[in-house]
Structures are given as C-alpha cells and as structure tokens.
C-alpha cells in the first residue's frame, strides 16, 4: 500500500533562522581572526531586540553588535514596519569565557589527542532519491523557499513579500519506497498588507505562488522529478488567510530550534544536538558533517541505495564510543550492516581533530550553512573578507560544504570490491 511522507523547511527570515545566522556569523568572524577559537554562541531574537549569550575562548575581540546588525540587514529586515530591523533593534551581549572544566578535556598539547567537546550521538544520512543524495521532500521544500527569497529580492514579479516564510511538501510513495507524485504543498509567506480586502489578498498570493513560484522551482529539477508535479496537488497557501505580522515580532527565535530542517527533514535520524554557533570541537556539529560525508560517499559508491551512519562520543575522549550503519534493506554488498560499520570506521577517521583536518572545519565557512540546510549543498571555493575595528582586515579563500564532496568514492569501491 502506498504511503505519504512530509518534510518542511523555513526561510532565512524565520525567527529561528535569524538566530542561527547571527550565531554562525559571529563564529565565522572569530575563526577568521583566530582559527583556534572555541565558540558556543546562542542568539535570541524578539520584537526589536537581540540577545547574544554563550561561551567563547579566543585571542580576538569583535564588535558583536555590529555583526548581528549586519546579518539582520542582509536577511532583509530593514524596515521599521517589521518591528525588527538591523539598524534599530537593541543588541545585548552576554557572552563570556568558556568553562575551564570543558576546555581541559578538549584542549591537548598533541592536537591529535583532542577530546570530543561533548557526549552524544550524531547521524549522517544519504539516499539516491535526488542528485544531491538528499530526501526529496526536504529538497523541494528548501528550493521553494530559496526561490521565494529570490523573488522577494528581485521585487519584480511579486512585490509584496516579507522575509519570514515556511514551506512543507508531502510525497506519495509506492510500496517499493519510490516517490510517485507530490500530494500536498504548503507555503506560508509573510507579506505587506496591500489590499483592504483579506480575501483578495489571499487570492492574489495563492495565484502568484502557484503561477510564479512553483514553475520556477519545477524548472530547477530533473525531468523525472518534474513529472511528480501534477494537477492533483493540494495547495495550502497562507492557510490562516493573512500573514502580515511575522519575523521576530510575530514569534521569538532561538538558535538551534530547526535541527530537522537543518539535516534530513525527518528521514534517517537526528541526534538532537544543534549546529549553529558551535566551533568544530563540538562534535554535535563536526561529527554530524563527518557522518554525512561517509554516508554520501558510501551511497554514491553503490554500497546501498539508502544509508544511515551513527557515531557517538564521550566528552574529553578521543576515540568515538561507537560507529554503526543502517542500510534499510537496500545494501548491495554481501556484508551485514555491522560489517559495513567496521569498514566505515576504518575508512573514515572519526576522531575530533581528524574530522576538523579532513573537512577543513577551522575556517569561516558556517554562515552559508545556517539557512536552507547544512546538507545537500554544492561544495565550492570562495573568497571572504572580514573587517574588525580591533583586529584589522582578513581575506581568506575557503572551501564551503567539504562534507558534500564525493572524494572518497574510489576508496570506498576498492574497500567493498565494487
């Protein structure tokens, strides 16, 4: 019997994502001026206010208020009527130094003996559903909001959009776990109040979302995925009827509240730890990236059609406490999942410092992860410039999304005799 599966995404202007982006903007600035910085930065946003909190150990000093304001403006909160803007909001910093009790277990004279920054379990997942080895419902949800943000910035075909938005996609699957069609699309987008008649406003928004946004998103997708769009899709566009009050004025936002949006949209698993604002000594972040890197390369090499890698740690301990694999019955090799896991542990060094080195994580590469997912994006090299009134100017060439590189496929194939 066929079944339905749903994933959601949120826009860069969603309150929780504003918080994530501010936290990662601060992290990037710390790493740009001091790559050895230890950072755990949390952000709260609400009507007209930003609160920064957390622990930092660094040789650099930053104007954290200015970084927060710049991030907010870049997202699009630049108007007084939003009740939240980068130029006018209050920014309170409660950041203090990292606990010595934590740092003594993490910092070692020999970096290779660096302990994990916390206990916990992390997951990496990959599937052949899409070209980027991501779950399809989440991939389409992300695309809907990225294109909606493009339309907002263009301010041409649709000129009433505000930054806050959410999307949700429900797919119908066959008994063989193959997507058959898109059953439902939900889009809720913040907007200007451009008509005194709420019914006319809603009708116009729905017309534009279905007539402009959906075709743009569909055009980005491969032909086989385009075929899943049909005239039976149920659309729920701004189902409350009106969405003028939004952003931090509508709901408070906090770092780390969209962890499922950040990863696999409910497919696979999530260990519970958030990513944004954390330097790579925190295995919540770095080991989740390493597990995704392993899972993606294994699926691309043909080990399985769908695969989940779990890795776990004890705080201050170098070696992971476990590495396990789940192939959901899709394995293409004559090995048990336990035997595959042993090979994964041999192929991918999951010690914290080894992960940092392999994936080049002590670089300012994190702001780009803080909206529309940490996984599934195209790896690329970019130049970045950071300026500080206290530390001068730094220009760096960095690699983004190194954990998405298919650079271990040949090695995996050799190990598994594929």
Residue 57 backbone phi and psi in degrees, to 5: -125, 110
The token pair that represents 131 in the structure block: 């070209």
Joined together, the tokens standing for residue 168 give: 């949700």
Q: What is the CA radius of gyration of the chain?
A: 22
Tokens of 259: 């962890």
Compute the CA torsion angle 143, 148, 153, 157 (nearest 10 deg): 130
Q: Distance (Å, rounded) from C-alpha 146 to C-alpha 198?
A: 26
Contact 269, 121 (CB under 8 A): no
Is 42 marked within a binding site? yes
16 is a catalytic site residue: yes
Was 112 annotated as part of a binding site? no
At 291, which helix (H) or strand (E)?
A: helix 283-301
Q: Does 165 show up as a binding residue in the annotation? A: yes
Query: Per the annotation, does 183 bind a ligand?
Result: no
Q: What are phi and psi of 198, to 5 degrees?
A: -60, -35
Contacts of 266 (CB under 8 A, 6+ apart): 5, 6, 7, 135, 138, 260
- 278: annotated active-site residue: yes
Catalytic residue among 63, 70, 107, 251: 251
**Tokens for 38?**
């230890």
**CA 363, 366, 371 angle in degrees (round to 5)?**
165
> Is 360 labelled a binding residue?
no
Is 98 annotated as belonging to a binding site?
yes
Catalytic entry in 162, 258, 270, 351: 258
Write down the catalytic residue from 5, 243, 275, 416: 243
For residue 105, count CB atoms less than 10 angstroms from its CB and return exposed for 0-12, middle for 13-18, buried for 19 or more: middle
Choose the catalytic residue: 24, 208, 262, 284: 284
Residue 28 among known ligand-binding residues: no
d(CA 78, CA 379): 30
Residue 113 known to be catalytic: no
Q: Please confirm, yes or no, whether 243 is among the known catalytic residues.
A: yes
353 is in an annotated binding site: no
Find out whether 89 and 48 touch, Cβ atoms under 8 Å: yes
User: Which one of the listed residues 12, 14, 33, 116 is annotated catalytic?
Assistant: 14
What is the rounded (10 degree) CA torsion for 368, 373, 375, 376? -90
Is 262 a known active-site residue?
Answer: no
166 among known catalytic residues: yes
Known catalytic membership, residue 251:
yes
Whether 42 is a known active-site residue: answer yes
Is 414 annotated in a binding site? The answer is no
Q: Is 417 marked as binding a ligand?
A: no
Distance CA 310, CA 295 (A): 10
Q: Known catalytic residue: 258? A: yes
* 257 noted as active-site residue: yes
Ligand-binding annotation for 251, yes or no, is yes
258 is in an annotated binding site: yes
User: Among candidates 299, 374, 290, 266, which has minimal Cα distance to 128?
Assistant: 299
The catalytically annotated residue of 252, 300, 314, 354 is 252
CA distance 350 to 286: 10
Helices (H), 78-222: 100-106, 136-154, 198-208, 214-220
14 has binding-site annotation: yes
Instruction: List, edge to edge, every strand of the sheet that includes 161-173.
Output: 3-10, 161-173, 179-191, 234-237
Q: Which of 57, 162, 267, 278 is catalytic?
A: 278
16 annotated ligand binder: yes
Active site residue 17: yes
Residue numbering of the annotated binding site: 14, 16, 42, 55, 98, 164-166, 242-243, 251, 257-258, 274, 278, 282
Residue numbering of the annotated binding site for L-methionine: 55, 98, 251, 282
Residue numbering of the annotated binding site for ATP: 14, 164-166, 242-243, 251, 257-258, 274, 278
Give me the active site residues, please. 14, 16-17, 42, 55, 166, 243, 251-252, 257-258, 278, 282, 284
Residue numbering of the annotated binding site for Mg(2+): 16
Residue numbering of the annotated binding site for K(+): 42
């Amino acid at each position: 019997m066929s079944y339905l599966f749903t994933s959601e995404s949120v826009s860069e202007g969603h309150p929780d994502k504003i918080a994530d982006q501010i936290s990662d903007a601060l992290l990037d600035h710390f790493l740009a001026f001091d790559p050895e910085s230890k950072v755990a930065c949390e952000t709260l946003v609400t009507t007209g206010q930003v609160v920064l909190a957390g622990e930092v150990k660094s040789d650099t000093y930053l104007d954290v208020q200015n970084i927060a304001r710049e991030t907010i403006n870049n997202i699009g909160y630049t108007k007084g009527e939003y009740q939240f803007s980068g130029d006018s909001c209050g920014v309170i910093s409660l950041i203090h130094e990292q606990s010595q009790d934590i740092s003594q277990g993490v910092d070692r004279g020999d970096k290779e003996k660096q302990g994990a920054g916390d206990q916990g379990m992390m997951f990496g997942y990959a599937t052949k559903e899409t070209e980027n080895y991501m779950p399809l419902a989440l991939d389409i949800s992300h695309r809907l909001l990225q294109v909606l943000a493009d339309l907002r910035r263009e301010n041409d075909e649709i000129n009433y959009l505000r930054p806050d938005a959410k999307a949700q996609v429900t797919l119908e699957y066959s008994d063989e776990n193959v997507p058959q069609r898109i059953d439902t699309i939900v889009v809720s987008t913040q907007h200007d109040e451009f008509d005194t008649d709420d019914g006319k406003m809603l009708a116009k928004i729905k017309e534009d979302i279905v007539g402009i946004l959906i075709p743009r998103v569909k055009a980005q997708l491969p032909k086989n995925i385009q075929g899943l769009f049909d005239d039976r899709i149920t659309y729920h566009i701004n189902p409350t009827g009106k969405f003028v009050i939004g952003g931090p004025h509508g709901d408070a936002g906090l770092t780390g509240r969209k962890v499922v949006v950040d990863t696999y949209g409910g497919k696979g698993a999530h260990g519970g730890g958030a990513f944004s604002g954390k330097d790579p000594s925190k295995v919540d972040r770095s080991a989740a990236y390493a597990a995704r890197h392993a899972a993606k390369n294994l699926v691309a090499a043909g080990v399985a059609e769908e695969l989940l890698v779990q890795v776990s740690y004890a705080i201050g301990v170098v070696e992971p406490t476990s590495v396990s694999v789940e192939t959901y019955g899709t394995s293409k090799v004559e090995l048990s999942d336990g035997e595959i896991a042993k090979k994964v542990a041999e192929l991918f060094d999951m010690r914290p410092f080894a992960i940092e080195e392999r994936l080049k994580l002590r670089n300012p590469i994190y702001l780009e992860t803080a909206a529309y997912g940490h996984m599934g994006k195209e790896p690329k090299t970019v130049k970045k410039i950071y300026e500080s009134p206290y530390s001068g100017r730094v220009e760096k060439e960095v690699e983004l999304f190194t954990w998405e590189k298919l650079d271990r496929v040949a090695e995996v194939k050799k190990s598994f005799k594929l």
